[in-house]
Amino acid sequence: MCHSTCFRRSLLLGLVLCLSPRPARGTDCVDYLGYLQRIGAVSLPPGIPGDMAVDGEHAYFAQYFDHFGRFTVFDLSDPQLPTFVSYVDTPDSVYRVAASGQYACLINDFGGFYVIDVSNPWIVGTHAIFASAVSMAGNYVYTGETNLAVWDISDPLP
């Protein structure tokens, strides 16, 4: 009788020890820095970087200043030589960006967002809507303020 009770207690103790989280030790961590290799870089124009999105062969940066924002486009077609393409200033500071297909969206300080046509990297137009969070997929923009809203931007410019 004691044998089966002792066995159950030992089994239970073993399970508890096996399933209990243990603190990480230095030998548990892997330093990936030795595996990473920087292959290209380009300087950002002056301004404070707020956010970045990559879609296809372009990187889009939201930058902000004291009284205005900047949307900057880089060409990533050659990863070893990313190149500056263009930028456009916005009347408000912008700090978030999302991109999908031919459009990018920027969130500004006042809960608004700009839809920017990036089909031609030399930015051709913008349209403003209000939100505090933004994400994109295809021709749809998803925004959040007090609710989740879905916007069809297949033709955002009047």
112-156 confidence digits (pLDDT tens): 778 787 887 766 455 555 566 677 787 787 877 667 878 787 775
Closest by CA to 138, choosing from 96, 101, 98, is: 101
Could you list the beta-strand ranges (E) of the chain. Answer: 48-55, 58-64, 69-75, 83-90, 94-100, 103-108, 112-117, 126-130, 133-137, 140-144, 148-152
pLDDT of residue 49: 84
Q: Is the full-model pTM beyond 0.85?
A: no
Question: Torsion angle, CA of 113/101/38/35, rounded to 10 degrees?
Answer: 110
Q: What is the residue-averaged pLDDT of the chain?
A: 76
Nearest alpha-carbon partner for 62 in 129, 153, 125, 134: 134
Does the pLDDT at position 94 exceed 90? no
Checking if the pLDDT of 8 tops 60, the result is no
Residue 77 has pLDDT above 90, yes or no: yes
- The pLDDT of residue 102 is 81
The answer to whether 133 and 148 are in contact (CB under 8 A) is: no
Identity of residue 69: G
Summarize the confidence of residues 97-126 as an average pLDDT: 76
Residue 45 near residue 39, CB atoms below 8 Å: no
Domains along the chain?
A: 48-152 (2.130.10.10)
Q: How confident is the model at residue 46 (pLDDT cuts 50, 70, 90)?
A: confident
**8 Å CB contact between 48 and 88:** no
Contact yes or no for 102/123 (Cβ under 8 A): no
User: For residue 35, is pLDDT > 90?
Assistant: no
